[in-house]
Amino acid sequence: MAFTGGALALSSCSEFLNESDPSNFTVENYFTKPEHARSSVNAIYASMRDPLSSGFGGGAWMMTEFATGLAATDLGQAVNSYFVKDLNNTSDNGYGQTIWASYYRGIGNANLSIAKIPEITMDSNEATRLLGEAHFLRAWYYFELIRMFGHIPLVTEPISLQSEQLRPLQADPEAVYNLIIADLTVAEEAGLPWRDPSGRVSLGAVKSLLAEVYLTMAGYPLQKGEAYYRLAAEKAEEVINSGTFELFDDYASLHDPSMKNIIENIFMIQFKTQIIVPNWQVSIIPYNKNISQYADETGGIYATADFAESYEPGDLRAQEKQFFFTQFTHESNRNQVVDLGGYFIWKLFDEVAQTTTANSDLNWSVIRYANVLLTFAEASNEVNGPTAAAYDAVNAIRSRAELDDLENLSKENLREAIWKERWYELCFENKTWYDMVRLRKAYNVRTKQFEDFVGHRFTYGPVLRERELLFPIPTSEVRNNTNLVQNSGY
């Protein structure tokens, strides 16, 4: 587990996308100047990028997508994808190991910044803002880990090789959520701007994540119910009422590098062409169809036909080159159209990189305004039933999709209509599986109805069991820390 000082990815550069060799520094002698505070916080962001690394072995970011039953692959050698997709997952899955190690490394670096920045003589307002970023990032890492693995260690202080918590015990899940809320509350009061076009943590990101955390706590496994739906609605409404964010006019902007960190994009994982290049592009194009300037065309992940064809008639998102694409031009002759044989993910596709540069400048979206609107609509409906505000939020999503407004629905029918919009709007953004787990529901794309998670059959055969409500703790973690107890069923 990456908690020790050896995991410190400190940077001597003030640009938070860049990292440098930390070998000249130790924890004891590093935290002495304002520049050190800044670079230590910059280093916390880095671990967010690790699971997005992709290639012929697949990519860890795909784990929660294949777990929905809505994703397909042609990449036969990416065995970790098939373990999850076919519900044969084990604790040896490399995706889980990558996520666990990367996110705990991020937590370790956050713990160092939180502990050491107060010791540095520097502008107090800047120190408070940096600490706010560190607390947000620690909360985000823990929120991802607690939902994926369920029973995880909770470590909030820097750990050395001599520390008693080098092999920590697993915490009660509610204690992890309490830390997440406490961290986000600190970040909320840190004087962060509502938006930060550089991609750093903003107040909009903090309040949006708080809304999502409260929505999750209202459902499974904590089942805190109406009080937390109310909190989720209130936080999402603060974001809406800020007037800072809005939906893009078109879906093309979702994967336009010039639209990074603005308008609908509230918080993103940062990449930069020629410097830190996102390589998930090789995973979202079909296997060796010769459509791309990338040398590797892996066919790593795409939508099942059953899901892509289940959108409501007339839904703009389901039309060609909106959320998906089934045809593209040949890389040696752009007048020649190639049938791709599946529904590939256009909403993540960097067209300039794919057709000319093979060097993407696209960020990965973590929180966008559409998610905030749907969070508000769902939470508000749970507390107050159908209201004009709840309808306005969900209908903004539907209006962009060129669908009729929802109206005159019961609370129960509006609830499921909002869930459907989440499934269709947020697909392939690492959101859907989390919704399935907190709701204990899965969407049957053939009947267009929601059914219980346990017992839900994927369209290609496998059936979800209770064990699939969590991922297995990686084998190496259990082996190295004998205090860890493996999740049930693995």
User: Is residue 282 situated within a structural domain?
Assistant: yes
Q: What span, in angstroms and rounded, lies between the C-alpha atoms of 345 and 430? A: 13
pLDDT more than 90, % of the chain = 91
- In the block, residue with structure tokens 């309808």: 391
**Same domain flag for 289 and 405:** no
Give the model's pLDDT for residue 17. Answer: 57
Q: SS3 letters for the chain? A: CCCCHHHCCCCCCCCCCCCCCHHHCCHHHHCCCHHHHHHHHHHHHHCCCHHHCEECCEEHHHHHHHCCCCEECCCCCCHHHHHHHCCCCCCCCHHHHHHHHHHHHHHHHHHHHHHHHHHCCCCHHHHHHHHHHHHHHHHHHHHHHHHHHCCCECCCCCCCCCCHHHCCCECCHHHHHHHHHHHHHHHHCCCCCCCCCCCCCCHHHHHHHHHHHHHHHHCCCCCCCHHHHHHHHHHHHHHHHCCCCCCCCCHHHHHCHHHCCCCCEEEEECCECCCECCCHHHHCCCCCCCCCCCCCCCCCCEECHHHHCCCCCCCHHHCECCCEEEEEEECCEEEEEEEEEEEEEHHHCCHHHHHHHCCCCCCEEEEEHHHHHHHHHHHHHHHHCCCHHHHHHHHHHHHHCCCCCCCCCCHHHHHHHHHHHHHHHCCCCCCHHHHHHHHCEEEECCCCEEEECCCCECCCCCECCHHHHCCCCCHHHHHHCCCCCCCCCC
Looking at 443, 458, 474, the residue that finishes a domain is 443
**Same domain flag for 316 and 295:** yes
Q: Nearest Cα to 132, choosing from 178, 210, 184, 195?
A: 184
pTM comes to 0.95
User: Is residue 257 situated within a structural domain?
Assistant: no
Check which CATH number belongs to the domain holding 414 and give it: 1.25.40.900
User: Is residue 435 situated within a structural domain?
Assistant: yes
Say yes or no to pLDDT of 76 above 60: yes
**Same domain flag for 174 and 105:** yes
Q: Nearest Cα to 139, choosing from 94, 205, 60, 200?
A: 205
User: Is residue 253 situated within a structural domain?
Assistant: no
Say yes or no to pLDDT of 174 above 50: yes
Tens of pLDDT, residue by residue over 82-100, are: 999 999 999 999 999 999 9
**Same domain flag for 32 and 141:** yes
User: Is residue 31 situated within a structural domain?
Assistant: yes
**Same domain flag for 340 and 397:** no
User: Is residue 476 situated within a structural domain?
Assistant: no
**Same domain flag for 164 and 21:** yes
Looking at 191, 225, 242, the residue that finishes a domain is 191
Domain extent at residue 405? 368-443
Q: What span, in angstroms and rounded, lies between the C-alpha atoms of 346 and 310? A: 17
- Contact 310/446 with Cβ under 8 angstroms? yes
Dihedral, CA atoms, 446, 449, 455, 457, nearest 10 degrees? 10
**Same domain flag for 149 and 66:** yes
Per-residue pLDDT averaged across 296-306, rounded? 97
Say yes or no to pLDDT of 12 above 50: no
119 pLDDT band, cuts 50/70/90, is very high
Tens of pLDDT, residue by residue over 302-320, are: 999 999 999 999 999 999 9
**Same domain flag for 374 and 357:** no
Q: What span, in angstroms and rounded, lies between the C-alpha atoms of 105 and 100? A: 8
**Same domain flag for 16 and 73:** yes
Check which CATH number belongs to the domain holding 32 and give it: 1.25.40.890
**Same domain flag for 37 and 119:** yes
Q: Nearest Cα to 53, choosing from 296, 265, 351?
A: 296
**Same domain flag for 349 and 387:** no
Euclidean distance between the first and the last CA atom of the chain, given in angstroms as a whole number = 20
Tens of pLDDT, residue by residue over 158-171, are: 987 777 778 899 99
- Contact 153/171 with Cβ under 8 angstroms? yes
What total number of domains does the chain contain? 3
User: Is residue 220 situated within a structural domain?
Assistant: no
pLDDT more than 70, % of the chain = 94
User: Is residue 401 situated within a structural domain?
Assistant: yes
Q: Which amino acid is at 258?
A: S
Q: What span, in angstroms and rounded, lies between the C-alpha atoms of 459 and 65? A: 15
Write phi, then psi, for 330 (nearest 5 degrees).
-75, 140
Per-residue pLDDT averaged across 244-257, rounded? 98
Say yes or no to pLDDT of 421 above 50: yes
Per-residue pLDDT averaged across 436-458, rounded? 98
**Same domain flag for 285 and 405:** no
Looking at 311, 331, 362, the residue that finishes a domain is 362
